[in-house]
């Protein structure tokens, strides 16, 4: 593993150095009962039922958790590959790296032995305050130097490459003098880190900022992409919000087809974090990814649905806030 830690990207494609896992979903506590009743055996004849090949966990939900959630995690990892996905590394913050958090991550890594670990190209707080949101970075040479140094530091501590996800964003910095894809290319090249391509995030950010999502995907370092995310956002008319609370729209499936043509067999994960459906429905949605790769274009186009006259537009929040509120409510029950 040391040969692909920290420093300029080696000649070998990271996508070739890590396993290709197939099609997976996030492990969520609302599905524990279903998973236990079905003996965690989701593998059937393809003609009978789609299968889940792997699970992704939110790392923070299992750090310092040795209760039922940890029990379920252990049952799942007995049968399936597991990937750890974090939301609190805050790799772009000007706060010092949170060593307590990273040490906790390392303990969980030693236990789970994930195929890889990921987080986001973002910052989540400042002065020790966690906003529980994934905030955008200015794309400048100075912030690139800052993030490169911190990614290298984290990779040296964890002794493995970090896989970082492109964020969904709602604002851009006037000071940015490079595009997001240029920033990502330089970050991957200088640190050897990998990329988790969230196709839905590209769709959301491209709409919000008015750039071409296909050009974005074509411009990425494809040999560094080891995983893709799919999710459904909310169209708010003037902008889109990354809500993870609905089906994947057709526009995202189309971008996914493009991404998979550039990175064949890339591990695919369906994210659904609010208004989460029953597990079989989730798997049906995941199965559309297989459909998409066979040439069909699933889903329906996402269009703005204005509120009925006299009704106020519903409040829409992005997933990290939603997710953390759910966790807090669950803990206070």
Q: For residue 228, what are the β-bridge partners?
A: 197, 268
Among 198, 245, 247, 285, binds Fe ion (CB under 5 A): 198
Q: Confirm if 5 and 161 have CB atoms less than 8 A apart.
A: yes
Q: Which is nearer to Fe ion, 5 or 252 (CB)?
A: 252
Binding window for Fe ion (CB under 5 A); candidates: 44-52, 100-108, 197-205, 303-311 = 197-205
How many Å from the N-terminal Cα to the C-terminal Cα in the chain? 42
The whole-angstrom separation of Cα 218 and Cα 294 is 21
Binding window for Fe ion (CB under 5 A); candidates: 170-178, 180-188, 224-232, 318-326 = 224-232
Binding window for Fe ion (CB under 5 A); candidates: 93-101, 132-140, 178-186, 223-231 = 223-231
Q: Is the dihedral of CA 290, 76, 282, 323 positive or negative?
A: negative
Q: Least separation, in Å, of the C-beta of 246 and Fe ion? A: 14
Q: Which is nearer to Fe ion, 186 or 197 (CB)?
A: 197
Q: Which is nearer to Fe ion, 77 or 120 (CB)?
A: 120
Please report where in the chains the tokens 């902008």 appear, as a residue: 239
The whole-angstrom separation of Cα 246 and Cα 262 is 26
Q: Least separation, in Å, of the C-beta of 227 and Fe ion? A: 9
Query: How many residues of this chain bind Fe ion (CB under 5 A)?
Result: 2
The whole-angstrom separation of Cα 273 and Cα 27 is 10
The yes or no reply on residue 229 touching Fe ion (CB under 5 A) is yes
Residue 240, CB-side half-sphere exposure with 13 Å CA sphere: 27
Binding window for Fe ion (CB under 5 A); candidates: 174-182, 194-202, 211-219, 233-241 = 194-202
Q: Least separation, in Å, of the C-beta of 319 and Fe ion? A: 8
The interface mask with Fe ion, positions 142-181, x = CB under 5 A, is ----------------------------------------
Q: Least separation, in Å, of the C-beta of 304 and Fe ion? A: 22
Strands 23-26 and 267-270: parallel
Counting beta carbons within 10 angstroms of the beta carbon of residue 178, is it exposed (0 to 12), middle (13 to 18) or buried (19 or more)?
middle
Residue ranges that bind Fe ion, judged by CB under 5 A = 198, 229
């Amino acid at each position: 593993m040391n040969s692909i830690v920290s420093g300029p990207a080696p000649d070998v494609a990271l996508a070739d150095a890590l396993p290709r896992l197939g099609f997976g979903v996030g492990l969520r506590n609302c599905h524990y009962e279903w998973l236990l009743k079905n003996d965690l055996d989701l593998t059937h004849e393809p003609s009978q039922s789609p299968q889940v090949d792997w699970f992704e966990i939110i790392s923070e939900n299992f750090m310092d958790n040795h209760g039922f959630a940890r029990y379920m995690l252990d049952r799942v990892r007995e049968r399936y590959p597991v990937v750890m996905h974090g939301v609190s590394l805050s790799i772009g913050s000007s706060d010092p790296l949170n060593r307590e958090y990273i040490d906790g991550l390392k303990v969980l890594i030693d236990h789970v032995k994930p195929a890889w670990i990921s987080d986001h190209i973002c910052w989540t707080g400042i002065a020790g305050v966690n906003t529980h949101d994934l905030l955008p970075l200015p794309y400048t040479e100075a912030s690139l130097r800052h993030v490169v140094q911190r990614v290298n530091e984290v990779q040296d501590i964890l002794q493995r490459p970090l896989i970082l996800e492109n964020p969904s964003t709602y604002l851009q910095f006037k000071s940015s003098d490079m595009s997001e894809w240029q920033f990502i290319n330089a970050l991957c090249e200088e640190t050897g880190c990998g990329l988790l391509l969230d196709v839905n995030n590209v769709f959301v950010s491209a709409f919000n900022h008015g750039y071409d999502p296909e050009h974005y995907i074509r411009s990425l370092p494809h040999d560094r992409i080891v995983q893709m995310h799919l999710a459904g956002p909310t169209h708010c008319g003037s902008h889109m919000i990354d809500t993870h609370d609905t089906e994947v729209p057709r526009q995202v499936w189309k971008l996914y087809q493009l991404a998979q043509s550039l990175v064949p067999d890339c591990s695919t994960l369906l994210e659904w974090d609010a208004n989460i459906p029953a597990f079989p429905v989730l798997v049906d949605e995941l199965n559309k990814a297989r459909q998409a790769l066979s040439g069909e274009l699933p889903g329906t186009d996402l269009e703005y649905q204005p509120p009925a006259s006299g009704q106020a537009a519903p409040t829409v929040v992005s997933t990290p806030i939603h997710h953390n509120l759910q966790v807090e409510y669950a803990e206070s029950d």
